[in-house]
Structures are given as structure tokens and as C-alpha cells.
Amino acid sequence: MPTRMIADRTVSTIGLGGMPMSIEGRPDAARSVATIHAALDEGVTLFDTADAYHLHADEVGHNETLIAGAIASWGGDTSDVLVATKGGHLRPGDGTWYVDGRPEYLKKAAEASLARLGGDAIGLYQFHRPDPAVPYADSIGALVELLDAGTIRLAGISNANVDQIRLAQELLGGRLASVQNQFSPAFRSSEPELELCTELGIAFIPWSPLGGISSAARLGERFAPFQQVAADRGVSPQVVCLAWHLAKSPVVIPIPGASRPESIRDSVHAAGITLTSEELALLG
């Protein structure tokens, strides 16, 4: 598996997004564990989760616990695995989402995530989504405190705009490790944030890189150029899409969600594909 960097950490070029294994439509635990083990078998070393990836109000951190347990039970060497989690976006258990960016909440949430994930520090902790009721600088201040206290090793932000990236980088003293924004063939409005991350050398982690849980399977139907390149290469449109992400910039590390072993096994093939300039022009 080729690798890329998140700050000073080397991770697999393709990561695994854990959300489909814990929210609506999730599979049974055995299949989820098999999916995580399949990712590890393929050389995946970046796993993305969040405390809000759960269904019911009494199971906050479901996905964190699932991923931590599956990694621990794999049996191989996991010393190079980086688990990235997020805080500040919550689910009350009725299918809705809300935000809480208060520093005191984020610090408590990080401590709870650390307890679920285990170890002496969270590998990468990301502020999940800006809270309009809380100054952004205050929320980032919590990340600064968590870094300085050693609760987290790396700090990132998610769903951020250009100004927020610049502010976070400033407040963190140049220690902003990653930006996780939505980006896919269907959602390209984060191009300015991707360009800034490339300029600053900050990892850009696109979420829903295949278009989201409900749309990923129809990617080739929705975007004919991806289907065309896939047919020419004898791979799936999803593989072409992930290779397209990788070609955007050396700081891009896609985290396709999966809830089946065969899905992540297919996704990792993108790491070995270099698209031609003609193909990239066709894909746009």
C-alpha cells in the first residue's frame, strides 16, 4: 500500500470511513469487524470515526468502540495504525444531528473518546463541525489545550472554510494536521480548501468521496466519464473515483465508507492506479 502523510504520521493512501457501520442501515457487528479486518489485511492504516456515529442515544461512541475492538482483535501488528475521531457533532437518537462547539464540551468529549479508543492519547482528533453559537477561535482553543495536555497527538478540523483553516493553523501554532471536508464528483465546492491545504502541506481528507452511502453504488450511472474510464481499465467506477481524488493533490487521503469486506478490498485498488492526463481531463 502506498502511503501519504498526516503531519509526521505515515498512513495508507486509502483509509476507511467507519460511519456506515454504525448509523442507519448498519450491518451486524460480525460483518463490520470482518470489514475492518479486511481493511487491515489490505494495508489500510487510517481509520476515521466519530463519537456521533451511532443510532441510539445510549450508544454514543458506538463506532469508536467497534473500530477499537476490531483493530485489537485482528492479531497482526497495528503499531502503525492511526485512528482519527471527531467531536462537536452530536445525535440525540432520533436521527437528527446538532452541534456543540463549546470548549468545555469538546474537552470532555475528547476524554470520553480516548477512554473508548484506548491507549494514552488519541491519534488524530478533529473538531467535527463549526458551532454558530460559539466563536470558532474558542472551539479551536480546546484543540490547543488537548494537544498541549497530550490528550491528543494530532489536531484537525472538519467542514471548514478557507478562513477557518487559516485561523485554526494560526491558533494551533502551525500544528493543524488535517482538514476533513466533503468532496466528490457530485460535490466539488471544497476546491478552495483543497488548494489551501496543498499550499500549506495540510492533509485533506475528503469525506463521502464516492458521493455518500445512498449514492456510491450508482456513481458510474451518475457520472458517465467515470464509468467510461472504469470500463477501459477493467475496474469499478468507484476505484476510478478514488484514483481521481489521489491525483488532485499529494495531500489528499480519501476515506471511503464501507460496511462490507468486498467494498474496502475494491477501494484499495485505487492506490495502484495513476490516471493519465487525458483521463483526468475527461473526468474534470
Q: Where in the sequence numbering do the catalytic residues fall?
A: 53
Amino acid occupying residue 270:
A
Q: Could you give the CA distance from residue 269 to residue 243 in angstroms, rounded to a whole number? A: 9
Q: Answer left, alpha or beta for residue 61, where phi above 0 means left and psi between -120 and 50 means alpha.
A: left
Helix orientation angle between 62-73 and 29-41, rounded to the nearest 10 degrees = 50
**Cell 475494491, located at residue:** 266
Cell digits of residue 136: 470558532
C-beta of residue 20 within 8 angstroms of C-beta of residue 213: yes
Give percent helix, percent strand, percent coil of the chain, each to the nearest 5. 45, 15, 40
- Per DSSP, what are the bridge partners of residue 252? 204
Q: Is residue 3 classed as helix, strand or coil in its secondary structure?
A: strand
Q: Could you give the CA distance from residue 69 to residue 21 in angstroms, rounded to a whole number? A: 13
